[in-house]
Structure 1
């Protein structure tokens, strides 16, 4: 279901990064070869929603370099409007280098200090995009990059909300960017603008230890709170009634868990955009199940975005279709 009164279904922004992913299941110290792809929570979500047929715009800052051009071309090829993605001639595009070895923890390393994305500021905001979308999605990652990026994130949320858009927020806590005390400040500051919050169970405990996340966020004015809890599934706190709806995961062979949270968010938002937007148990189950299915497809293959499904594939899996398409 498309709302033609807005040009976009979703606008998002953040730190797009080039991903160098070690191949052959080898850990970083002994890796010989790397796959070349994209990374970034917001660009992952934008890609997921675009593949599902939604009208998506993505903005931010990249370096005026080959990596920045690769990001621009890749997002454009997914059907994402990148007219708001600007080049910084002074700062480079950020890099993410990681592995995905079997039987041992994944190692993730960043080269983002002084990147183009860290210089995001309120003056960079494409107000026209923010005022012409059904939903704005932001994460705490962008806000934690710098004080100017935090100010830009807060202003973007305020502009979109003033224009009547819904605003969704995922703290997406990265302790390499800030300590827990700083994250508590950032999350509380931004959550006051959000209608929808996605949070991991573990990060909710870090932000408000011992406090039920549904109650903590709704006390700040959030309407819908979705808690992601890994293999335990996900829960959604319904506004008004206070009812908690729970859904399990779709079990698949786990190949690479990175990107699961972004994929879940994309699936949940897609269902919400398609009309499962009422504060009822039935619609909540649809949103949570769609999120779980999209996440399952991502963790079953290597890379942050490779497993994100098309609309046709998602619909087939949701309908319980055949495991073989002939």
Structure 2
């Protein structure tokens, strides 16, 4: 559960917050559902008003949530944003021993994963606890054993675990992924590399089939064993909120991939949705439906009235 301030500045001076949902995996699920894909999401939620709200919102966005478990003992985790003009917001996490951090391998419905085309994983869930880490690794193994592609966004959050542990676990996951979405900073932490081509080449050598290195406003560098491209981004003059842009990027790329688009087009979708996410306050509020995406990319005419 996210509490977003209605004013900028240090959180100690903020009086009012707006309630919304947050979560990298749920962001990707919602963005894909808005683009017309069938998406399922599973986690653990507290048996409290926050948990009921999160489940209702995600379900209302068209995401299938039947495998989201209600935990009778643990509470739903919360976080607060602290925003400053034209800079990335700070995030304060209060999710230790939350319902989601108690996700465990036996919570996984094997048949549910087997039905999917893609299993999307981020580096946030394995950072929450040992049981979450074991659950993620089990889900990946189930996917790989049944021909389900694994998509991975490292999404490193050093407020949740130390750098050595993060590096070890995330590289283990990366070697099992088919598609990976690292940023430059993540490339430096995980691989000690900062050049997009070097990062992409290294992840390809580890076994990934596709690498899309996020470059922020500059777009991305997308590579496979057959081709590689720098794809320019979309300029947003005054971004409102950058949180959720990376999740929108992943969803855009996966949408193109599901539609069997060329690598370049997948990356264009990714760049566009990542940019659109920054135009709206909130993690997932800026994700478009497909017609809005086409208009933003200049592929459809905009009719104002």
Fold shared by both chains (TM-score > 0.5): yes
Give distance in 2, aligned partners of 1:206 and 1:54.
Answer: 33
Stretches of 4+ moved more than 6 A in 1?
A: none
Deviations 1:154-188 (A, max 9, x none): 11011011111111011100001112211111112
Deviations 1:209-241 (A, max 9, x none): 1372222212221111110011222011122x3
Which of the pair is proportionally richer in strand? 1
Q: 1:22 to 1:155 in 2, by over 3 A?
A: same
Give distance in 1, aligned partners of 2:170 and 2:163.
Answer: 10
Does 2:288 correspond to 1:309? yes
Q: 1:20 to 1:87 in 2, by over 3 A?
A: same
Query: TM-score scaled to structure 2, two decimals?
Result: 0.95
Counterpart of 2:272 (choices 293, 304, 309) is 293
Deviation of 1:244 (Å)? 2.3
**Partner residue, 1:261:** 246
5+ long unaligned stretches in structure 1: 1-17, 277-282
Counterpart of 1:238 (choices 224, 231, 235) is 224
Query: TM-score scaled to structure 1, two decimals?
Result: 0.89
Please give the secondary structure, in 1, of the residue aligned with 2:181: strand
Indicate the RMSD between aligned Cα atoms, in angstroms.
1.5
Cα pair 1:27 1:107 within 8 Å, conserved:
no
Deviation of 1:104 (Å)? 5.4
Cα pair 1:130 1:160 within 8 Å, conserved:
yes
Deviation of 1:198 (Å)? 0.6
Deviation of 1:322 (Å)? 4.2
**Partner residue, 2:234:** 250
Cα pair 1:180 1:207 within 8 Å, conserved:
no
Give distance in 2, aligned partners of 1:323 and 1:235.
Answer: 29
Give distance in 2, aligned partners of 1:124 and 1:271.
Answer: 30
**Partner residue, 1:220:** 206
Give distance in 1, aligned partners of 2:271 and 2:215.
Answer: 11
Query: What does 1:194-205 correspond to in 2, within 5 Å?
Result: 194-205=177-188
Query: What does 1:115-264 correspond to in 2, within 5 Å?
Result: 115-210=98-193, 212-239=198-225, 241=226, 243-252=227-236, 253-264=238-249
Cα pair 1:23 1:99 within 8 Å, conserved:
no
Give distance in 2, aligned partners of 1:101 and 1:320.
Answer: 34
Cα pair 2:5 2:16 within 8 Å, conserved:
yes
Please give the secondary structure, in 2, of the residue aligned with 1:169: strand
Deviations 1:105-144 (A, max 9, x none): 5221011011011111110111121000110000111011
**Partner residue, 1:280:** none
5+ long unaligned stretches in structure 2: none
Does 2:8 correspond to 1:25? yes
Deviations 1:22-63 (A, max 9, x none): 003344111111111000100110010001110000001011
In the alignment of these two chains, the number of paired residues is 301
